């Protein structure tokens, strides 16, 4: 494999199989170096992103970027049954992530149609750098904290017992405790740790240069151990709120970085997104947008929970449909998004789920919303007067290689007509 940055990015599609021996349906052979690196990363674990076979890898429904050592694997959504182009799939993914709130950058424009190397990973890094530069320009926060240690000058208070233990033969030293006001704030240390992480990644020369310059302006701080629990305990206030965006991106980078402790050659950074979540969030936000023209009549309620089962010990199982559509403050429709390709027969598990939603939320019409060519299939549950119906709606959200929102508006209009036929 050519060691240039161009050839260090290997692009694949979700759910596709890539062999190290022969070309698959996607027309690519998986380089042996990448196979070996991913095999080393997975070890004996069952990862959500891909599964290994003897001679290849099958990717799952996660999309995004996996950087393993010097290589980056970009996993793109399979949005077309036929001849899917990597360039259009990448643009569609970036735009869906942007419109869903996963990233906050402008989408690729018509003047930038060339497939960018490592765009997904570097987009997040660029977001982090922009937020961190803003904090540096505004001035990093300072904090008071107490330090102890041996000093050649007496400052603060002398810790008498420790001074005897440490300096009984070093009369020129003092073991003291003193208060310092500096930038050794935990949030600054998180940023510094992330800066050091990025400097170790295989990214573009522009980002490496930006990191080197940032190092000059950023104070050298102590390392800090981070975990998901650590980030959850951060308390945001008036002074620290400006850090929130940068820290959220730092959290994503730091918690998804897995250093190779054995050889140090195949450190892994996984920025992967479940396409079920991306599709649900994107569709919900678009539906909220188009429903504005029915303001006062139509209300979109995402992620409403109800208890489905309760044990005698108090344990509960909750049901949570993706969307409840209320008409005049009354629940009328259940919408549940599914990122999968189906014909006119959904899975039995999906149908049972919609039946439960109808009963739990006291509605009579449910819809499974899939990506695909525009069509509908309607079906009824047994004793439909009591248990309602479940329809399939296919939304062709791609048109000429771009996201298409118009048919979501058409779908909303159809829902309104079901309640008000005239």
Report pLDDT digits (tens) over 348-364. 999 999 999 999 999 99
pLDDT at 119 over 50: yes
The β-bridge relationship of strands 71-76 and 62-68 is: antiparallel
pLDDT category at 113 given cuts 50, 70, 90 is very low
Instruction: Express each pLDDT in 207-248 by its tens digit.
Output: 999 999 999 999 889 899 999 999 999 999 999 999 999 999
Task: Tell me the mean pLDDT in the region 66-80.
Answer: 85
Say what the pLDDT of residue 58 is.
92
What number is the average pLDDT over the span 96-117? 59
What is the token pair recorded at 184?
């050794």
Euclidean distance between CA atoms 121 and 320, whole angstroms: 31
Taking residue 373's Cβ as centre, other Cβ atoms within 10 Å add up to: 9
pTM equals 0.80
| Rounded Cα gap, residues 195 and 128, in angstroms | 9
Partnered with residue 151 across adjacent β-strands are 174
Of the candidates 247, 133, 123, which has an alpha carbon nearest to the alpha carbon of residue 185? 247
Architecture of domain 295-419: 3-Layer(aba) Sandwich (3.40)
**Residues of CATH 3.40.1350 domain(s) within the chain?**
295-419
248-287 pLDDT tens trace:
999 989 998 887 655 556 788 888 999 999 999 999 999 9
Per-residue pLDDT tens digits for 1-39? 333 444 578 889 999 999 988 876 677 888 888 888 888
């Amino acid at each position: 494999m050519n060691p240039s940055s161009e050839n260090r990015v290997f692009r694949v599609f979700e759910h596709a199989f890539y062999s190290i021996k022969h070309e698959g349906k996607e027309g690519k052979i998986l380089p042996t170096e990448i196979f070996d690196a991913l095999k080393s990363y997975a070890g004996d674990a069952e990862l959500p992103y891909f599964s290994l076979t003897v001679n290849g890898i099958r990717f799952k429904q996660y999309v995004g970027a996996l950087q393993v050592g010097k290589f980056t694997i970009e996993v793109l959504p399979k949005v077309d049954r036929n001849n899917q182009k990597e360039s259009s799939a990448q643009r569609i993914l970036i735009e869906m992530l942007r419109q869903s709130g996963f990233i906050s950058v402008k989408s690729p424009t018509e003047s930038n149609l060339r497939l960018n190397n490592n765009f997904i990973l570097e987009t997040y890094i660029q977001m982090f750098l922009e937020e961190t530069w803003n904090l540096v320009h505004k001035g990093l926060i300072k904090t008071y904290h107490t330090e102890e240690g041996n000093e050649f000058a007496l400052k603060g208070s002398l810790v008498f017992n420790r001074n005897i233990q440490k300096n009984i033969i070093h009369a020129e030293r003092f073991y003291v405790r003193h208060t310092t006001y500096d930038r050794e704030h935990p949030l600054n240390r998180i940023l510094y740790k992330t800066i050091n992480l990025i400097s170790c990644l295989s990214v573009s020369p522009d980002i490496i240069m930006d990191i080197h310059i940032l190092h000059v302006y950023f104070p050298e701080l102590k390392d800090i151990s981070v975990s998901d629990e650590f980030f959850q305990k951060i308390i945001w206030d008036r002074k620290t709120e400006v850090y929130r965006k940068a820290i959220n991106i730092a959290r994503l980078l730091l918690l998804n970085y897995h250093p190779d402790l054995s050889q140090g050659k195949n450190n892994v950074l996984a920025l992967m997104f479940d396409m079920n979540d991306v599709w649900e969030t994107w569709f919900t936000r678009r539906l909220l947008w188009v429903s504005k023209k029915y303001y006062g009549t139509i209300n979109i309620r995402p992620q409403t929970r109800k208890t489905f089962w309760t044990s005698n010990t108090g344990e509960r199982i909750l049901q949570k449909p993706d969307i409840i559509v209320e008409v005049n403050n009354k629940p009328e429709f259940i919408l549940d998004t599914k990122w999968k390709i189906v014909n006119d027969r959904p899975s039995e598990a999906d149908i049972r789920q919609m039946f439960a939603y109808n009963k739990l939320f006291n509605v009579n019409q449910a819809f499974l919303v899939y990506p695909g060519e525009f069509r509908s299939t309607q079906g009824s549950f047994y004793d439909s007067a009591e248990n309602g119906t479940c329809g399939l709606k296919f939304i062709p959200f791609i048109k000429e290689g771009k996201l298409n929102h118009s048919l979501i508006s058409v779908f909303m209009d159809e829902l309104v007509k079901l309640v008000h036929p005239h």
